[in-house]
Chain A
Amino acid sequence: MGKRSKGSILQKEQSLAYKLLIPTLVVLGLVAIFPLGQVVVTSFTNREFAGEQETKFIGFNNYAQLLGVTVKELPPEIDDDTGEVVKDPETGETEYERSIMVLPRKPNRYKELFQYNWFGKRYVVGARDKEFLIAVGNTILFTILSVFFETVIGLFLALVVNSNFKGKGVMRTTMLIPWAVITVVSARIWEWMLEPGSSGFFNMLMYRMGLSDGQASFLTNSALQMPTMVAVDVWKTAPYMALLLLAGLQTIPKELYEASDVDGASKVRQFFTITLPLLKPALAVALIFRTLDALRVFDIFQVLMSSKMYSMASYNYFQLIQNRDMGLSSAIGVIIFIIIAIFAVIYIKSFGVDEE
């Protein structure tokens, strides 16, 4: 074949390749890249959704609104009559002024986020958008807890299903069901099982086992909310994690176990010296996927909690649809993007996934 004709074949191939890629790139440009640009630009404006108000650039105001925090020292409460510091009559601890006295109100109002002691003084942290910062905190806590538990349970499930027993196939199929069922549907099933009062399954169970009075309100009691959300999410995602890990387990050569059996290594030792190190790549990928998924959790928070407790995504939805504040909602989108990117980079660096 001559040089020229070969060149023209290559050229033809190249131009065909570009043509074939056009639809994908156009679609992704339309639904991902352009909206992303739009979000970044809008995040610097006060754009309202379907509103009359004229859109203006307001610089970093949305970000300041979302992330604005202030720390103020809280003075001890002074008794007006005696001029002395008021102490709690029972515990003898110093009482402090209410935080509303020290937190700025103009031009922007700060609400108390939390208080802490530092070198004998009391400080209060105030935030301009308390709900958002709590949503970020909740989402990160939710992510850490749910990814941790689903990894542990998922690994356990994978090891169980990887062993040889009758009904292995049935078990593997069953594991797919929580993953495949619509999250909203399973969230509503859980909602019903979590009903306060003994018409709810868990309250009935706890009552019968004598663990509680059967009146726990899992979704409104603030001490129970986070554990409940994690439990619901782990139920759905641990089997999925297990399937990803199972694929990794199956690539480990059987001979390694046989050899270490001959050496008399215990099963526990085998797990830590063979299974875990060789499972690392599969584990890394599964962890990245699940963490990024958990950080953008929306469905179960929206269905089970709605305004009782926000995740970053459900707060974003709330600001866009209920408050019609497109500018603020866009700024939230950018912040979520940055948080997720930070997590992704940390993971990829620490697992060395990119060094292949």
Chain B
Amino acid sequence: MTRTQRRKLKKVLFWIVIVVVFVYLVFPFYWALNSSLKTEDQLMMTPATFIPRDTEGNFAPTLQNYKGALSDPTFIRSIWNSTVVGFTTTALALIVGSFSAFALGKLRFKGKKPTLYLILSMTMFPQVTVLSGLYAVITALNLHPILSMILSYMIFTLPFTTWVLTTFFKKLPIELMQSAQVDGATPFQTFYHILLPLTAPALVTTGLLAFIAAWNEYLFALTFTSIAPQSRTIPVAISLFSGSIARQEPFGEIMAGAIIVTIPVVLLVLFFQRKIVAGLTAGAVKG
């Protein structure tokens, strides 16, 4: 084999690897899409086909599963619930987190190190440990399930936003604060009018990750809505999906539901790819 041949072979092998990896990553979604476009009979057809086919073997997709999923009031409600929980959790985690991040990143005070480590240790905290204790707190406070989810999601969003924003604040030059103070601004004004706008990129990044984490959460949601079906979020609704048309487990509708709730996530990832990667690695390297 000549050198160029060998190089060509290497290139072909490399691309085969790339294609295999790509298929490995996205195939489950393709299969879900494929199944969501099949009727109940087509789903039971054996062997399963790679595209929806009728009995003659022609391409024959159907949208009935999507109609079914979208006319299911619990499913629609769950989308709304998830949206409310996701956005409120993110906003709260960012506001509260940026306050403490400013203190930890830019202000001088006693007990800074212990506070920092206390918050950091929270990121390693096993949430399942407090499941029963948290449930007791929520029943004692008589909180609405939506509110209890928002509050409990602070366990994993707040330490993360605080930690990442703290490292971000630390990097901002101290001169910014000093010159504002010379101009007579109080530290809080400096924070609010000067430093906070500068952290906008970090806020977007951490906010995105907090949102995705809240959007995906299942254990607390399942527990706190166990007796409140009207407050269920998407993960709970999808896991308990019973459908409206099919007699058995309505996998066509479940797959349609899965595709519907996956599209926004995919769009989010496409738009904010760089930011998400930055946030993930910041969270990992620092916390």
A-side interface residues toward B, CB under 8 Å? 10, 12-14, 16-18, 20-21, 23-25, 27-28, 30-32, 34-39, 42, 49-50, 157, 160, 163, 165, 167, 169, 171-178, 180-190, 192-193, 195, 197-201, 204, 207-208, 214, 235, 239-240, 243-244, 247, 282, 285-286, 288-289, 292, 295-296, 298-299, 302-303, 312-313, 316-317, 320-321, 326, 329-330, 333-334, 336-337, 340, 344
Using A24-B100, A199-B45, A302-B222 as known contacts, say yes or no to A35 and B130 having CB atoms under 8 A apart.
yes
Count the B residues whose beta carbon is within 8 Å of the partner chain — how many?
91
The 4 closest A-B pairs by CB, nearest first: A35-B133, A38-B133, A247-B281, A17-B109
Having A171-B22, A177-B26, A183-B235, one finds 16 other A-B pairs with CB under 8 Å, namely A28-B119, A28-B155, A42-B132, A172-B273, A174-B25, A182-B265, A183-B216, A193-B28, A214-B47, A239-B25, A243-B280, A244-B281, A282-B284, A296-B126, A329-B132, A337-B129
Docked-complex contact B258 and A185, CB < 8 angstroms: yes
Please list 11 pairs of residues, one from A and one from B, whose beta carbons are closer than 8 Å in the complex, sorted by A's number. Answer: A16-B188, A20-B100, A35-B130, A173-B270, A177-B26, A184-B216, A189-B28, A198-B47, A317-B223, A320-B135, A336-B126
Indicate if B185 sits at the interface (CB-CB under 8 A). no
Using A17-B107, A24-B162, A28-B122 as known contacts, say yes or no to A313 and B219 having CB atoms under 8 A apart.
yes
Give the contacting residue for B235; candidates A182, A295, A321; CB below 8 A: A182
CA distance A18 to B108 in the complex (A): 10
What total of A-B pairs shows CB separation below 8 Å?
286
- B133-159 interface mask toward A, CB cutoff 8 Å, 1 = contact, 0 = none? 111110100000000000110110011
CA distance A289 to B156 in the complex (A): 13
Indicate if B203 sits at the interface (CB-CB under 8 A). no
Docked-complex contact A192 and B47, CB < 8 angstroms: no
CA distance A36 to B29 in the complex (A): 39
Docked-complex contact B128 and A189, CB < 8 angstroms: no
CA distance A174 to B139 in the complex (A): 42
The stretch of B1-9, B13-21, B52-60, B68-76 that contacts the partner chain: B13-21
Using A38-B136, A333-B132 as known contacts, say yes or no to A10 and B24 having CB atoms under 8 A apart.
no
CB of B108, distance to nearest CB on chain A (Å)? 6
Using A185-B262, A199-B48 as known contacts, say yes or no to A289 and B134 having CB atoms under 8 A apart.
no
B-side interface residues toward A, CB under 8 Å? 14, 17-18, 21-22, 24-26, 28-29, 31-32, 35, 43-48, 96-97, 99-100, 102-104, 107-110, 112, 115, 118-119, 122, 124-137, 139, 151-152, 154-155, 158-159, 162, 187-188, 212, 215-216, 218-219, 222-223, 226, 234-236, 238-239, 241, 251, 254-255, 258, 261-262, 265-266, 268-270, 273, 276-277, 280-281, 284-285
Find the residue from B17, B139, B159, B269 having the highest chain A CB count within 10 A: B269
Using A31-B151, A160-B17 as known contacts, say yes or no to A296 and B25 having CB atoms under 8 A apart.
no
Give chain A's interface secondary structure class: helix
CB of B24, distance to nearest CB on chain A (Å)? 7
Using A13-B187, A182-B216, A244-B280 as known contacts, say yes or no to A49 and B135 having CB atoms under 8 A apart.
yes
Docked-complex contact B136 and A326, CB < 8 angstroms: yes
Docked-complex contact B119 and A24, CB < 8 angstroms: yes
